[in-house]
Amino acid sequence: MPPPIPARATLLALHRALVEYERREYERTHGRQTGAEFLQVLISDPAFAWLGPLTALIVRLDEAEEEKDADSDRPAFAAAARTLLGTTDSPFSRRCAELVQKSPDVAFAYAAARRAVTTP
């Protein structure tokens, strides 16, 4: 099995920070949720669809790591991550920018992910 794709850990940390922030905000309005309940909300509530591109990218990275030719896909994954984190006019980028301003955890995770996908 090839070594992990380097940016994966930082993308996963960004995803975790975004989900944790959104869960806290959601629970302020809707009350405490179990992990399973909130997972269903993340999957089914259109308000969280903006997270889809990051989730899908992480899933694709995980699938590539299981394949033997993941090394050949690394440039494509890095480009996809740079595009996702560098685009300024998408639902993901708009919401992420809002949360970077509101949460130090999200800001640090976002900065680390940007560094990881732009550093060769």
Tens-digit pLDDT profile for residues 75-84: 788 888 889 9
Is 60 exceeded by the pLDDT of residue 16? yes
Structure tokens belonging to residue 74: 């690394």
Q: What's the pLDDT tens digit per position in 26-75?
A: 999 999 999 999 999 999 999 999 999 999 999 888 887 777 655 567 77
pLDDT of residue 86: 86
pLDDT of residue 88: 81
pLDDT of residue 1: 45
Average pLDDT across the chain, whole number: 88
Tell me which residue of 72, 79, 73 sits closest to 118, measured CA to CA.
79
Q: Tell me the domain boundaries of the chain.
A: 8-118
Name the burial class of residue 34, with classes exposed (0-12), middle (13-18) and buried (19+) by CB atoms within 10 angstroms of its CB. exposed
User: Cα-atom radius of gyration of the chain, to the nearest Å?
Assistant: 15
Tell me which residue of 14, 29, 41 sits closest to 103, measured CA to CA.
14
